[in-house]
Structure 1
């Protein structure tokens, strides 16, 4: 592969994205090194999404009936020709230097199956991934248990080995809303996950989207965790504590969102699941450190 080209297939799932797709494409095509290919999957849009994509030379456009984000990304994965697949949502923008940083991380972590990074909200002044002290960002190697505790990065920051995606089976549409988290867990069973602790993406939070509905995320997470109960490498007690932690954090999230009825329902479901006895351990081991970390980040303005 030429030095100026990264061995990466960029997959952009787009639905009704005429307004934002151009910025996403420009941010991918403007990377140095540039990606070997960019694939846009128009998931049944009724606006000018495909026309915008076709206006960028070299971009491959695939149109399909609307099936949701998982199916659209899976279509792109099947069409990918490169050793790595990088995902970019049609309403997000890669910061300059995103691919270069992850290419360097590949060299430092040749066993990694997935590379990710941090994100920052759209509207900020930054347009380039910041240069850290010493010229290299802090990195966190994550394992299966780390990701079972929390989905630690957003899809548009992620770059995955194509072979790993093939072995995992891609995204699962039955858990749309938690489909990214579900896939990262399956990838983590195959090898190390490396997160660069630096923003690589500017994102737009869409409250009406698949990831913006708290109730939907909660219900799909439970479906995912029910499957993980069978597949997990954790002991039964350790997994029960993790499951309890997720009930607790969603009960708290519902309360913060003003959804007290949902918070009460979550607590009832925790009791029905027979997890009340695990509440003290889950609160000490998982909930308390999580809340402390949130407080520290808020005080630092992060």
Structure 2
């Protein structure tokens, strides 16, 4: 099936060449490659001149969501992929995902797995290992992340009115809406490289407390669509959303160094989580520390993240024993694995090393990306 690739661009001269090279190295080449510029002032547009098959568009509105939607309107291929300007694909990424959508016509989208990297990335050999992914099973967490790992049917996007532009957390909202009636098909193979740096859009957004208020608005807006399709899930999903409200208030207290409120909301969170599984409770605390607080406090290194956990424990109420223990365990369980993963990614390829690597990945709950 034909594919359109849409890439929003804003001052991406550091990364756009490598990103486009990964697109034109695909074993299943896209029919359309569109770059939507959002007012770049660096040398991004000069770099595009080296790619004559790229169609350059100028976005009439500002922001990544508007650029994606404008690109969608200017393309016609039945399958659509949205690639961020700083991410890359394995050469078989589009072939594997488009094959899944051909094989499973009832699924609205196919999803790959992502590897985080900073400079260089060596992908493990990809294989086809598909399974249904119910995005709502991890609600209100985002188990996919940004747009780069997903290939979507245009008909599915049309059914929700195109790429959402209402929220800055547009990808999160899009996944909620697209999967309200039917799960995605995920290929359990790493074919997307997610570049980590402090200039990324999500990193900058997460430094703003208003981001979390908008995220809650997106969750509240999407929830009725799921309840309409699966009314039996309403009670559970609303309980989970209530927990996210508490987490948002707790986050603001931590950011503002209001330790009285921190203690208050930590105790409320502890009580609320008593009704949930250990897995859900652990994923929520991981989200609080690694996804929410790291950008706000600029604690990017493993040593700084351990310092962040120690600071939380210093002020975390001892009565909130369950959540306190979960946060303490993050230092012992998450940070060493992240360090080992980074070590493996920068070592020469060997099958034994990647087998160990895969075991670590699949035994490690993914850091959520709201």
- CA 1:236/1:298 → structure 2, altered by over 3 Å: closer, same or farther? farther
- Distance (whole Å) between structure 1 residues aligned to residue 154 and residue 260 of structure 2: 39
- Distance (whole Å) between structure 1 residues aligned to residue 103 and residue 261 of structure 2: 47
Question: Which among 173, 177, 194 is matched to residue 186 of structure 1?
Answer: 177
- Distance (whole Å) between structure 1 residues aligned to residue 16 and residue 186 of structure 2: 26
CA-atom RMSD, angstroms? 3.4
Preserved CA contact (<8 Å) 1:70 1:173: yes
- Partner secondary structure for residue 163 of structure 2: coil
Indicate whether 1:26 and 2:11 are aligned.
no
Question: Which among 54, 64, 67 is matched to residue 62 of structure 2?
Answer: 67
Question: Which among 200, 225, 231 is matched to residue 219 of structure 2?
Answer: 225
Q: Which has the larger radius of gyration?
A: 2
CA displacement at 1:28 relative to structure 2? 0.3
Counterpart of 2:368? none
Q: CA-to-partner distance for each residue in 1:204-225, whole Å, 9 max, x for gaps?
A: 1243443124335422211112
Question: Which among 16, 28, 45 is matched to residue 40 of structure 2?
Answer: 45
TM-score for the superposition, normalised by structure 2: 0.67
Preserved CA contact (<8 Å) 1:7 1:84: yes
* Higher mean C-alpha displacement, 15-24 vs 196-205: 196-205
- Distance (whole Å) between structure 1 residues aligned to residue 140 and residue 41 of structure 2: 38
Aligned residues: 288
- Partner secondary structure for residue 201 of structure 2: coil
Preserved CA contact (<8 Å) 1:254 1:263: no
- CA 1:285/1:55 → structure 2, altered by over 3 Å: closer, same or farther? closer
Counterpart of 1:81? 76
CA displacement at 1:259 relative to structure 2? 6.5
Counterpart of 1:172? 164
Counterpart of 2:88? 93
- CA 1:208/1:64 → structure 2, altered by over 3 Å: closer, same or farther? same
Question: Which among 91, 99, 104 is matched to residue 104 of structure 1?
Answer: 99
- Distance (whole Å) between structure 1 residues aligned to residue 281 and residue 165 of structure 2: 29
* Higher mean C-alpha displacement, 225-234 vs 155-164: 225-234
- Partner secondary structure for residue 86 of structure 2: coil
Counterpart of 1:3? none
- Distance (whole Å) between structure 2 residues aligned to residue 244 and residue 230 of structure 1: 15
Q: How does 1:272-291 map to 2 (within 5 A)?
A: 278-282=272-276, 284=278, 286-288=280-282
